[in-house]
Amino acid sequence: MIRIMQYGAISADEIFARNESELDVSDIVTEIIADVRKNGDAALMAYAKKFDKADITALEVSQEEIDEAFASVEPEFLEILREAAANIRAFHENQVRQGFRMERADGVIMGQKITPIEKAGLYVPGGTAAYPSTVLMDSIPAKIAGCKEICIATPPSANGKINPVILAAAKIAGVDRIFKMGGAQAIAALAYGTESVPKVDKIVGPGNAFVAEAKRQVFGRVSIDMIAGPSDILVIADGKSNPAYVAADLLSQAEHDKMATAVLVTDSMALALQVQAEIEKQLAALPREEIARASIENNGKIIVAEDFEDVLAVANEIAPEHLELCVDDPFAYLDKVQNAGSVFLGRHCPEALGDYFAGPNHTLPTAGTARFSSPLSVDDFIKKTQFTYYTPEALAEVGRKVAYFAEKEGLRAHARSAVIRLEGEK
C-alpha cells in the first residue's frame, strides 16, 4: 500500500528520499562498447542472439520490411499516429530558432548562425513494451531542426523483426534508417560506427540502466540528450479532486517500471486516504499489476501538507518529470512551479495526453534533474556558431585593451596577436 506522510511531522530526508538504483553496470557496459568497437557488426549480431534471442543476418531494416509492417498495422491506429505526429510537429515548429546579426556604427559585425546536427541517433526501447510514441517524440524535432540523417536503433523480437508499430511510426515521422540493435551495444554502434551502422553526432532517447550507462560513457565522442532514470510523476491535488482520477494518474507511471516513482502532494488528508484506497482497488485490475504494485509500495508516497504554499514547495523540491496541477484554476499556480519537466493543467489533463498525443515532448528530465535541464526539443538537434568581424579601425580602438586584459591573465601570445596588428598598421 502507498505510504501517507505528514509534511513537517517527519524528516525532510524521508520526505524527499529518491529512488536510486544500486545496480552498477559500468564494467559490463565498458566491455560491450570495446567489443562493438573491435568487432562491429559481428558483435551486434552476437548480442542480438544473446540478449534478444534473435538470429539476424542484416542489421538494417529493409524498405520491404517497413512496407510490410506498415500494411499490417490497423488503419485506425495509423490515423491516430498521423494525428499525434501532426500535433507534435505543430508544437515543436514553434521552437525553431533564428540566427542573428549585429552591425555597429564602427563597422564591427557580430552574430550567431544556427546549423542542424548532421546525423542523429535515436534509441527506442523494446523489452516489455513497444514505444511508437518515442519514435514520434524523438524524430520529429530532429526532422524540424533539419538533420540530414535520422537513424533509429531498437531491439528486435526473437523472430528477428521489429515491432510493426515502431516501423509504422518511423515511416510517418520520416526516419531515414532503422537498425535492429538494442542495449549498450546499440549506443556503442551509433557512437563509433560499424560496417553497417553510421557514426552519428548525437544520441537521444530513453533506455534501461545499460543504455543510460552507455550514453554516459560515449558522451564526448558524441553528444547526448540526458541520462534518463526511471519515470516519475507528481500530482498536486486539492480536496475537491476525484480520487479515482488521481489514483489512475499515479498508476499510469507506476506501471512503467518497478523503479518508477508516483507521488501525490495534497492539503487534504481526506483525499489522501481516498486515493490510497482507490490505488489498491485499481491495482487489482491492471495487467501489469506486479510492476505497478512494486513501484507503488517501494517508491510511491502521498505527502499531506498544511496549505498550498507548502504543497508547491514540496513539488519544487522534488522537481518531477511530470507534474499535474489538479485544481480549478491551474494557471494561477503555473508561474509558481519552478522545477518540472512537463506540467499538466487542470482536472481533465492526464499525463497520458503528453505521452502520446497532445504535442509537447515526452522525453523529459527525470530524478530531479528538472532543476537544471529541459525536455527534448528542436534545440537538441542544432548547433549555435558565433561569428565576429572587426575593421582595422575598430581593432585600433580596442587592441591595447585586449592586450592589457591578456597580460593580466599571463598570456603574452594572446596580447601579442592584438598588438602586432596595431604595429603593422603603423
Cβ count near 164 (within 10 Å): 20
User: At 354, which helix (H) or strand (E)?
Assistant: helix 351-356
Q: At what angle do helices 132-145 and 164-173 cross, to 10 degrees?
A: 20
Q: Which of 332, 336, 335 is nearest to 312 (CA)?
A: 336
User: At 139, which helix (H) or strand (E)?
Assistant: helix 132-145
Indicate if 322 belongs to the active site.
yes
Cβ count near 7 (within 10 Å): 18
For residues 129, 134, 139, 140, the Cα torsion angle rounded to the nearest 10 degrees is 130
Indicate if 351 belongs to the active site.
no
Q: Which residues of 35-61 are buried (b: 16+ CB within 10 A; e: fewer)?
A: bbeeebbebbbebbeebbebebeebeb
Grid cell at residue 8: 513537517
DSSP 156-203: PPTTS---HHHHHHHHHHT--EEEE--HHHHHHHHHH--SSSPPPSEE
CB of 184 within 8 A of CB of 29? yes
Kindly state the DSSP code that residue 381 receives in the 8-state scheme: G
Active-site position among 278, 321, 324, 351: 321
Active-site position among 322, 324, 351, 362: 322
User: At 217, which helix (H) or strand (E)?
Assistant: helix 209-218
Which of the residues are catalytic?
321-322
